Amino acid sequence: MENLKAKARQRKKCIEDLQRKSHFSIPEIEHLLKIHRKKATSHGKTDKPKMERQKFSDLLHEEFKMTDDVLIDRVFRAFDIDADGYLSEEEWVRGISIFLKGTMEEQIKYAFSVYDQNSDGFISREEMFQFLKNCLVNQQTEEDPDEGVKDLIEIVIKKGDYDHDSKISLKDYEKTVGEDYLLLEMLGPCLPSRKYANKFLHSMECNTKK
């Protein structure tokens, strides 16, 4: 009995902690943890539930209609703070908080970490190439598609490289997005569209009112 009470106290503390670290209310966090539990696997009795990459990517696909595998993989990595290949409860709640309700500052840092593939603090030409080539892949054109991508990269660099080192630092990126918010997702969609974000938030609201 005492044991159970201690566990409940610990759980309550953990949820309150997540409330401080996210933009969600306690009932919303409980609902998000339920989703996490449904998607998660736990290995052994004492292990905390963890969400696997594939389950997360299915969820992005189902709930937010995101389909670009390169970007989905990067979104997973941006959520997976400790880089162990799984999303813990905390990583899930904090990630989805930025994803759905993040401040501009949070979303700029998040999108930058999505695009900065090797986490060296810069978005390089090679990294831009990886993302932008997907955008052009389906275009029917006589021209070499790589040439089209290179042109796009020049536009991005021209627009965003304030210190002229041919790559984009977080500072460059903050400045670029600060001037034009539409450039937040300049290398491809890494945040949900308003429509699907609202749908998800609305269903969460309905589920937590009961």
Contact set with Ca ion (CB under 5 A): 80, 82, 84, 86, 91
**CA–CA distance, 116 with 187 (Å, rounded to integer):** 11
Asked whether the CA dihedral 132, 99, 64, 54 is positive or negative, the reply is positive
Tokens of 168: 């984009």
Least distance (Å) from Ca ion to the CB of residue 80?
Answer: 4
| Shortest reach from residue 53's CB to Ca ion, in Å | 10
Cβ-based neighbours of 53, under 8 Å, separated by 6 or more: 73, 76, 85, 86
Residue with smaller CB distance to Ca ion, 86 or 200: 86
| Shortest Å distance, C-beta 81 to Ca ion | 6
d(CA 97, CA 5): 29
| Residue closer to Ca ion, measured from CB, 80 or 172 | 80
Q: Report the residue number, 87 or 153, with the smaller CB distance to Ca ion.
A: 87
Nearest to 153 by CA among 187, 181, 120, 185: 187
Closest to Ca ion by CB, 53 or 175: 53
Shortest Cβ 76–Ca ion spacing (Å): 10
Report CA-CA distances (Å) from 60 to 55, 74, 77. Answer: 9, 12, 13
